[in-house]
Structure 1
């Protein structure tokens, strides 16, 4: 069944509607302001047929003085042949003499025309009338300025807007369009920002992220948000299934592995000299497999937040001292040197075993890949303790740094038999640090090896 066509479901129609709404709103505001402002005058140069017609009238009045020398200009201009069709206003520059050619007409306020006396003929527009002029008329050795007045019977709707000061019109247009543009952009950008935040959260591993949208709108952004929710739900389902499978398989492997270890132990009681090396090898690989399964189960519980965490307020320095002591012993066995600088006096809410395991994993990696020296720097700040562990090894390609914290990831150089490791240590470390509301970052040193920084915050 096809969905009923609804223009509101398309961004094009929303943009189109907001565009015309902005225009109508701007015109409305301009009209309202025009009613609140005082009358103003607009003028521009007069040309074309109206100017020619006005000059012909002035020439006709000048010629009439020779035929009727006893008539004044006011009398000639008041002749019904002229006064019936035109309202004329005459004035003199250096005199207070001024008159209209229609005596019984309600006289408009012509004081607004004073500024045009020294100008070329203009079209002067006010809210009451429109005036054309001035045109000079020489009559009986006097010079008059003649204007043709056209009163507004019904003033045009936009006339007061035209007469508004330019600065006010500009201010109203900018203000109105800015206001509606802000409202429209907020309406449009708000769902985009929701999608952006949700995408960032999903990329950071928050698979339960969902976007709440107004389903009534039904536009393209709402459809995109719905598609995002479907994608996020499927990703969460797939990753959860993968983690559950890994945990279940690891758990099921514990039983046959335990039986294998018991059988190996019994076989060693009856071993011959020829079998000793084989049984020792089997025992070693079984122990490696047992450690790997333990790490997988631990990582699965950390990722699912099922790991039992017991946090107590305790000094971080005491935990670091024991880990560093073991690391110093291990580095000496490999003829490498561990340098420790700084200390901390802070007491933090910690799970001692879990945080010790995190530092131990990093130190063992540093010892394994260092050439001669491993450095551990402890800095104590007001709101955090920062522990930096670095080595002088070959380092890691910059593109591979983010992947080192992912389960089972190992760089190509470490995929050798003698390098050891399963690629789970740093992943466990990452989750252990995050459980303690800390952060872990990896970066290469200049002309040196890898540097790992752990920041543990405290109140």
Structure 2
């Protein structure tokens, strides 16, 4: 009896599926952002429940600060990804600036108080035309950065200047180094990922500003030092 011939197996490789890795990363970043958002909400609830006992804990405040920082970074990464895909646009609405900034700062007040940072809000009674979500992302990052470098005080200011709405964040720290003081949009190719300070937040902020335009006017950011607190000043100019 002739033995049966073993069944042949196809060992040829199947074509590897073409994977858009940037889309995979964007999806993962989106999920992480949502998870951190839930964590931040839980930290807010815990602060309210425990009151002063936990609000004065340096470890708790550090935890909330770092979680806020990571959340802001992920928001910026998603925004820059959408910018690269030509899928980031500004949805402009009219807003009463003092109310917008007051509501924005209410979110940060518990952490500011927990860290012992004084805060001042000074806004003219003016209306502005901007994308509230995009501007919130810019201000979140800017305030978080000011918290890192300030000594004891931060000031948020809004006024009309030369036909622009100018919103600024000042601190009483050492100020911006000369190499960072500029006006306009930094080139993405100049971001240094080896220095530990990529200026990714500034690239995001300037990109958001440039999405706001009216006629020949286009939004921009400006960095300089001085002001009433003597430290760094971040300004976003919106037409």
For 1:301, which of 82, 87, 94 is the aligned residue? 82
For residue 390 of structure 1, report the CA deviation from its aligned partner. 1.0
Q: Residues 254 and 290 of structure 1 are in contact (CA less than 8 Å); yes or no, is this contact kept in structure 2?
A: no
Match of 1:395, SS?
coil
TM-score (norm 1): 0.33
Give the alignment's Cα RMSD to 1 decimal.
3.9
Q: Residues 442 and 453 of structure 1 are in contact (CA less than 8 Å); yes or no, is this contact kept in structure 2?
A: yes
> 1:348-388 CA deviation, whole Å, 9 max, x = no partner?
2x221112222222122112210101112222357222222
TM-score (norm 2): 0.59
For residue 443 of structure 1, report the CA deviation from its aligned partner. 0.8
Residues 362 and 288 of structure 1, relative CA distance in 2, 3 Å threshold: closer
Which structure has the larger Rg? Answer: 1
- How far apart in 1 are the matches of 2:88 and 2:206? 14
For 1:369, which of 130, 133, 149 is the aligned residue? 149
For residue 303 of structure 1, report the CA deviation from its aligned partner. 4.8
**Residue equivalent to 1:427:** 203
Residues 289 and 326 of structure 1, relative CA distance in 2, 3 Å threshold: closer
Unaligned runs of 5+ in 1: 1-247, 263-284, 416-420
For 2:120, which of 339, 344, 350 is the aligned residue? 339
For residue 250 of structure 1, report the CA deviation from its aligned partner. 4.0
Unaligned runs of 5+ in 2: 1-19, 36-65, 214-218
Residues 410 and 452 of structure 1, relative CA distance in 2, 3 Å threshold: farther
- How far apart in 2 are the matches of 1:423 and 1:382? 28
> 1:297-316 CA deviation, whole Å, 9 max, x = no partner?
31132355411432223323
Question: 1 or 2, which has the higher helix percentage?
Answer: 1
- How far apart in 2 are the matches of 1:344 and 1:444? 26
- How far apart in 2 are the matches of 1:361 and 1:288? 7
Residues 291 and 316 of structure 1, relative CA distance in 2, 3 Å threshold: closer
Residues 345 and 401 of structure 1, relative CA distance in 2, 3 Å threshold: closer
- How far apart in 2 are the matches of 1:311 and 1:344? 19
Q: Residues 376 and 387 of structure 1 are in contact (CA less than 8 Å); yes or no, is this contact kept in structure 2?
A: yes
Q: Residues 371 and 392 of structure 1 are in contact (CA less than 8 Å); yes or no, is this contact kept in structure 2?
A: yes
For 1:319, which of 100, 105, 130 is the aligned residue? 100
For residue 334 of structure 1, report the CA deviation from its aligned partner. 1.1
- How far apart in 1 are the matches of 2:73 and 2:110? 24
Q: Residues 89 and 211 of structure 2 are in contact (CA less than 8 Å); yes or no, is this contact kept in structure 1?
A: no
- How far apart in 1 are the matches of 2:166 and 2:71? 33
**Residue equivalent to 1:379:** 159
Match of 1:399, SS?
helix
Match of 1:385, SS?
strand
- How far apart in 1 are the matches of 2:89 and 2:28? 25
Larger relative contact order (Cα-Cα within 8 Å, sequence gap ≥ 6): 2
Q: Residues 358 and 433 of structure 1 are in contact (CA less than 8 Å); yes or no, is this contact kept in structure 2?
A: no
1:399 corresponds to 2:179:
yes
- How far apart in 2 are the matches of 1:450 and 1:429? 16
Q: Residues 344 and 378 of structure 1 are in contact (CA less than 8 Å); yes or no, is this contact kept in structure 2?
A: no
Residues 346 and 256 of structure 1, relative CA distance in 2, 3 Å threshold: closer
**Residue equivalent to 2:237:** 455
Q: Residues 370 and 391 of structure 1 are in contact (CA less than 8 Å); yes or no, is this contact kept in structure 2?
A: yes
Match of 1:309, SS?
coil
Q: Residues 166 and 235 of structure 2 are in contact (CA less than 8 Å); yes or no, is this contact kept in structure 1?
A: yes
Residues 374 and 289 of structure 1, relative CA distance in 2, 3 Å threshold: closer
Match of 2:205, SS?
helix
Q: Residues 128 and 165 of structure 2 are in contact (CA less than 8 Å); yes or no, is this contact kept in structure 1?
A: no
